[in-house]
Structure 1
Amino acid sequence: MRSRTRTLSLIGAVAVVATVLGAGAAIAAPAIGNGWPYASTTRGDDGRTYTLAAVGDIACEPDDDDNAANPSSLKCGSPSLGGYDAEFATAKQATAMKPDAVALLGDEQYQVGKLSDFEQSFEQAWGGLKFLERPAPGNHEYYPYTKKGDNEAGQNGSGYFAYFNGHDKSGTPNSAGQAGDDTDANQGWYSYDLGRWHIVSLNVECNSPAFHNDCSTTDGGLLAQETRWLAKDLQQNQQQCTIAYWHQPTFSATTASTATVPASAAGAGGQEGQVADAWWKLLYADHATLVLNGHEHAYARMKPMDPTGASDPKHGIPEFIVGTGGEALDSLAKNSDGSYANPNVVTGYDQGFGTLKLTLGQHGYTYSYTPALQGPGLGASALDYSDSGSGDCKH
């Protein structure tokens, strides 16, 4: 499918800070209820708990006619990738959780997220959970891929929106659906409630034609409009507990440093990490409970942090990176003594694939992560990992 470009009418320059609220109303998506075998979902303080499954970086590129010219090492069947086995294993694990919703943390489909790729790979494993899935896009859904001998044009979100929101017979995505709006004014950011929890899905893929390749959060561009929307959404939120998720993390677990930014500092993930730095400030001021990210193909849980990346046990926000959906694995960044390069990483896992289970209660949450399948070439001992615990919502 050809890449789409859009014309965006820019508004006047506006400085974005935690107290600045621009035009556009906060969107609270309808409650998610799919019937048996999943519990129905209602809004408000109904006294029950909710299960949220969370994972990103999922589906390998199918080895089909549309991808015949692409390197085999990047496609399903490559021995260096998790492949179909891994994405089916994580989907089975998520299904067993009987989730009320599934937070997809970006890069649902590799390498560039064509609609045909979604249909031939992601759909095969994760299609049974489709109407519980609340996705955020990743770089592989928007940007071109020109690494490792590949040369694929960026889809600018076309395949992503066409898959999750539906499309007409020519493949043109619907303008609205479960992945949020697909318009010149909104590239799929939205929010929804599960009981007393307010959950926000954001699009950080700003170096794309849809965003006019503009990653500023303070000018008149689309990314700045999204940032103002986030500020207003948080202000209008009436729930006690808040989760926000997007793809590239603000703080890194698998990269020791960029050229200028240590892994523990805000913006370590490059330009998208710097965007997320502005969002972290808004979420911190709003006393958000959790931030979830993907992009780095490992699992990591970090200490509560302030917007600079300093440990802040009382007011900080914990970050979970869950990029272990099935496509491939990265290595956690460590120092020569074996400690994590980012000192805020409490625990991490890079030996297999798995999905995070969050149980959302009235005033707090529990979390549980166990691998569903070991990584390529690794034995069963790679499955000997687990991480679990609990936390409270902030006031």
Structure 2
Amino acid sequence: MTDERRPTSPGRRTLAIVSALLVAGLLATLAAVALARASEGEPVRSARGFSGPPSGSSATIWAVGDAAAPTEAAEEVARLVNAKPLDRFLYLGDVYEDGTRDEFDRHYAPLYGDIRDRTLPTPGNHDAESFDEGYAPFWSQVSDGPVPAHYAEQVAGWKIVSVNSEDGVDADGAQVRWLEGQMAGPGKCRLAFWHTPRYSAGKHGDSANVEALWSAVEGRATLLVNAHDHNMQRMRPREGTLALIAGSGGNGLYPVRDDDPRLAWGDDRHYGALRLRLEPGRADWSFVSAAGDELDSGTVRCDPE
């Protein structure tokens, strides 16, 4: 038989050598970066955004905000959350006092760093000023890339949607249009969360600046979870949307106005967190004190998407 392979031209040989060198250099660089991160004590993570592996038919989720503070109460709430079964943790924002990288490292990481790879965060007002220096670089260690301003993932038959209430809240802005798209279509098994509530019977009261966010989810999401006011609140449902406030994470407590007619239940005496158990078509929720006592609970049902 005749070997009909053509001899490789000098130009092709040069290109192949250059390509091989470039690939080798890239691999060496990646290995060096990984080694450096590991030597600094920073875990090397695969790229995941804020989306973990495919979820099962049910999930346990804990949620709390205003919790990253150098207080004994914050430590007690963190022990509660870390000790319980947990598939996802919604951190509802605010690392005190100013959301700097140093404060993320000193006030947030010791409390919730061990569950960072299961955490879905959203920024609070205390994080906003130092967003690019604190929130973004801290969470980029989990996402292994730019931190999304807003994002969504599917968990146990529910769509969980994180929104930034501290920026991009104009009705005609990109984030609100994106949120409206996430709320479109059949079904209402959707859980939205952001930091600042539209309606609150607490110290901060109502926040008209997030009206566009509220309008996008009202009647389209079954659950809305917020923080900002340092207490626990269950508001009366509006158009089928139940709003729960869990800002009781440990940085002081704010009073609840019990006479607010929009309030179904409130607590300003206990630190604690919100527990959610999700499954297709249903969610069980409980406000739990730092001591582990169930303070208020209920069930909502929804049509799957």
The bucket for the TM-score relative to the shorter chain is: 0.7 to 0.9
Alignment partner of 1:332 is 2:256: yes
Q: Which residue among 73, 95, 108 is the counterpart of 1:122?
A: 108
How big is the shift at 1:341?
Answer: 3.7
The whole-number CA distance in structure 1 between the counterparts of 2:77 and 2:117 is: 17
Q: 1:250 to 1:394 in 2, by over 3 A?
A: farther
Q: Deviations over 1:320-369 (max 9, x none)?
A: 00001112211112xxxxxx242121111111211111000221111112
Where does 1:202-217 land on structure 2 (aligned, <5 Å)?
A: 202-206=163-167, 216-217=170-171
Matched with 2:139 is 164
1:241 corresponds to which letter in structure 2? C
Alignment deviations for residues 360-384 of structure 1 (CA, whole Å, 9 cap, x no partner) = 02211111122115xxxxxxxxx87
What CA distance in whole angstroms lies between the structure 2 residues aligned with 1:227 and 1:245? Answer: 13
Where do 5+ consecutive residues of structure 1 fail to align? 1-27, 34-41, 61-75, 77-82, 143-153, 168-172, 182-187, 219-223, 306-314, 334-339, 374-382
User: Using a 3 Å threshold, how does the CA distance of structure 1 residues 96 and 230 change in structure 2: closer, same or farther?
Assistant: same
Larger Rg: 2
Q: Which amino acid aligns with 2:65?
A: G
Pairwise CA distance, 1:195: 2.1
Q: How does 1:1-395 map to 2 (within 5 A)?
A: 31-33=51-53, 42-43=54-55, 48-60=57-69, 76=70, 83=71, 85-107=72-94, 109-142=95-128, 154-166=129-141, 175-176=145-146, 180-181=147-148, 188-206=149-167, 216-218=170-172, 224-235=173-184, 241-255=189-203, 268-269=206-207, 274-286=208-220, 288-305=221-238, 315-333=239-257, 340-372=258-290, 386-394=295-303
Counterpart residue identity of residue 126, structure 1:
Y
How far did residue 242 of structure 1 move?
0.2
**Identity between Structure 1 and Structure 2 (%):** 28
| DSSP 3-state at the match of 1:347 | strand
Deviations 1:19-58 (A, max 9, x none): xxxxxxxxx967525xxxxxxxx24xx5x21111110001
Aligned to 2:36: none
- For the residue of structure 1 that corresponds to 2:250, the secondary structure is coil
- Structure 2 distance, partners of 1:51, 1:384, is 17
CA distance in 2, matches of 1:97, 1:297: 22
Distance 2:97 2:145 in 1: 23
Alpha-carbon shift at residue 127 of structure 1 (Å) = 0.9
Question: 1:175 Cα shift?
Answer: 4.7
The alpha carbon displacement at 1:216 in A equals 2.9
Distance 1:296 1:112 in 2: 17
For 2:51 and 2:263, the matched residues in 1 are separated by: 34
The structure with the greater share of residues assigned to helix is: 2
Instruction: Name the CA distance, whole Å, in 2 between partners of 1:384 and 1:90.
Output: 12
What are the superposed Cα offsets for residues 166-204 of structure 1, whole Å, 9 maximum, x if unpaired? Answer: 39xxxxx9752xxx42xxxxxx21111102100000001
- Cα deviations across residues 222-265 of structure 1 (Å, max 9, x unaligned)? xx1100111122236x765100000110101214xx8xxxx5xx
Q: CA RMSD in A?
A: 2.5
Give the Cα–Cα distance (whole angstroms) in 1 for the partners of residues 287 and 170 of structure 2: 35
Number of residues paired by the alignment?
257
TM-score by length of 1: 0.60
Q: Which amino acid aligns with 1:57?
A: D
Measure the CA separation in 2 of the matches of 1:197 and 1:190.
Answer: 14
What residue in structure 2 maps to residue 9 of structure 1? Answer: none
TM-score, length-scaled by structure 2: 0.77
* Aligned residues of 1:29 and 1:193 also touching (Cα < 8 A): no
Amino acid at match of 1:53: W
Task: Find the residue that maps to 2:184 and give its secondary structure.
Answer: helix
| 5+ residue gaps, structure 2 | 1-47
